[in-house]
Structure 1
Amino acid sequence: MGYASSLPQSDRSTSTAAGHWVLARAGKRVLRPGGLKLTKRMLTAADMQGKQIIEFAPGLGRTAQLIVTEGVSSYVGVDQDPAAVARVEAIVKPHGGTVINAKAQDTGLSGESAEVVVGEAMLTMQGEKAKAEIVAEAFRLLKPGGCYAIHELGLTPNDIDPELADGLRKQLARTIRVNARPLTENEWRAVLTNAGFEVEWISFAPMALLSPRRNLADEGLLGVVRIIRNLIRDKDLRARVLQMRSTFNKYRDHLTGIAIVAKKPSN
């Protein structure tokens, strides 16, 4: 089985597949808004060593790979896409990890069974109701004193013009073929605190998913060569990626990668 055919949504055309899976077809391995450095800062802030970890929507498994090599007590991934489950299972199984096929809103896992719940670039893709349901499930899964670590797409500044924000979201949804709903820092904080969490740590990184410098940092030289080669060979793939890059560049002053670690109160 080829790499592209093993990816989620491999049965969909390049023109209709979700943007992040199109980027994966191009050869990108890091699909988080703030890049690999922000993910690593978030994992450090969550203090994962020796703890029981649950990760929502691990996708390609890049973050899962980082987590299971941190000396964690246990790892359980939760993904609704069977292809992602198989891919991540192959990464974490040698380290004693498992991956289940379920929705983040309704994992079926026992309550208070994790010390850290991780979710990246998945709340952004949900509407208000689904965001609240997923965060509530993270709260249910965590032991008191445990933390929820997220890495999402943010809007900036906090007082961004509502019409601009609405137009940005609509253009983003059209471009990436997902109803993306990025939020401002204050709005992301509210999503967490409304569920009972206490925000403990927050950090930002430029939303530079398709910039040459970010790709070199995240993918390495060989990875960049791989991506360029794939784009040269496939004109439909190239067209989609350039379309996404154009949208990201248009709104770059108002998009940011945001990572937050929030704690479930101990009492």
Structure 2
Amino acid sequence: MWDRQAARYPAQEHRQARALAVAVRLAATRPGDQVIDLATGTGAMLRALAALPADRRPAGVVGVDRSAGMLARAAATALPDGWTTVAADARAVPRPAAAADVVTCAYLLHLLTADQSAAVLAEALRLLRPGGRLIVVTVWIDRSRPGGRLAGLAFGAAARAAPATLGGLRPHDPSALLTGAGFVLRRRVQVPRPGYPSLVIAAGRPGDGPPLRGSVSP
């Protein structure tokens, strides 16, 4: 499926740009950091990280995806030295335990079943070093907030208008899955872009920092 979508997928990346910018900010990368980007797709997260100034740009980034078509587009991006892409399932990344200071996972979990998501998060926990950060981005609509119902209707209309790129998405808050996988939530940021609302969550290992104290908008 995703090999067939590879040529069209970049058309929706502008809808994701604001949430990815929030994700990069919460990742708080530093020179010397190693990052693993799960479900890297066409490389939008790689490009966002590569655009950081030198004092925030990580030393190495591995973009992981099981779609050869998506990876071909990601690999066409001019990446910094030491950055690479790997063909692999996000549930079984060919890297040793504690290989990453930051693990990112953008726009994947809302496409998976609960069991599949749990397996991805277990792998993220395995890959993450003590003190490291997991950054997750999903499509999500908070219908309890003012305008939430309208946002839901707008998203549904957008999905019907562009089924090739939006039809498989379902709004999803992975907070319970994250805590069930052993993570502690640090930050939740709602990114209410019309037609493509997102939720960005920063999480870490227990004991590595203070737990979540609230949810904010950018």
TM-score in terms of structure 1 length: 0.62
> CA 1:87–1:108 in 2, change beyond 3 Å: closer, same or farther?
same
Question: 1:197 touches 1:263 (CA, 8 Å); kept in 2?
Answer: yes
1:156 partner SS: coil
The one-letter code of the counterpart of 1:140 is R
Q: Which residue does the alignment assign to 1:264?
A: 205
Q: How far 1:93 sits from its partner (Å)? A: 4.0
Say yes or no: does 1:63 pair with 2:45: yes
> CA 1:40–1:9 in 2, change beyond 3 Å: closer, same or farther?
same
> CA 1:130–1:207 in 2, change beyond 3 Å: closer, same or farther?
farther
Q: Which residue does the alignment assign to 1:95?
A: 81
* Distance in 2 between residues matched to 1:190 and 1:40, nearest whole Å: 24
Q: How far 1:158 sits from its partner (Å)? A: 6.0
Using CA pairs below 8 Å that are at least 6 residues apart, which structure has the higher relative contact order? Answer: 1
* Distance in 1 between residues matched to 2:66 and 2:167, nearest whole Å: 16
Alignment map for 1:175-194 (pairs within 5 Å):
175=163, 180-184=169-173, 188-194=174-180
Alignment map for 1:90-129 (pairs within 5 Å):
90-91=76-77, 93-129=79-115
* Distance in 1 between residues matched to 2:193 and 2:200, nearest whole Å: 12
The one-letter code of the counterpart of 2:47 is Q
Match among 45, 60, 69 for residue 74 of structure 1: 60
Gaps of 5+ in 2: 209-218
Q: Which residue does the alignment assign to 1:204?
A: 190
The one-letter code of the counterpart of 1:261 is A
> CA 1:41–1:48 in 2, change beyond 3 Å: closer, same or farther?
same
Q: How far 1:103 sits from its partner (Å)? A: 0.5
Question: 2:43 touches 2:63 (CA, 8 Å); kept in 1?
Answer: no
Gaps of 5+ in 1: 1-7, 11-16, 210-254
Q: How far 1:23 sits from its partner (Å)? A: 5.1
The percentage of aligned residue pairs carrying the same residue is 23
Q: Which residue does the alignment assign to 2:21?
A: 40
* Distance in 2 between residues matched to 1:88 and 1:46, nearest whole Å: 20
* Distance in 2 between residues matched to 1:52 and 1:202, nearest whole Å: 23
Q: Which residue does the alignment assign to 2:122?
A: 136
The one-letter code of the counterpart of 2:94 is G
Q: Deviation digits for residues 135-170 of structure 1, max 9, x if unmatched?
A: 11111100011111011111323699xxx9xxx7xx
Q: Which residue does the alignment assign to 1:4?
A: none
Q: How far 1:180 sits from its partner (Å)? A: 3.8
* Distance in 1 between residues matched to 2:127 and 2:9, nearest whole Å: 31
Q: Which residue does the alignment assign to 1:247?
A: none
2:3 partner SS: coil
Alignment RMSD, CA only? 3.0
* Distance in 2 between residues matched to 1:127 and 1:62, nearest whole Å: 24
Q: Which is richer in helix?
A: 1
Q: How far 1:22 sits from its partner (Å)? A: 4.0
* Distance in 2 between residues matched to 1:109 and 1:183, nearest whole Å: 28
TM-score in terms of structure 2 length: 0.75
* Distance in 1 between residues matched to 2:64 and 2:121, nearest whole Å: 14
* Distance in 2 between residues matched to 1:119 and 1:84, nearest whole Å: 15
Number of aligned pairs? 192
Say yes or no: does 1:9 pair with 2:3: yes
Question: 1:42 touches 1:149 (CA, 8 Å); kept in 2?
Answer: yes
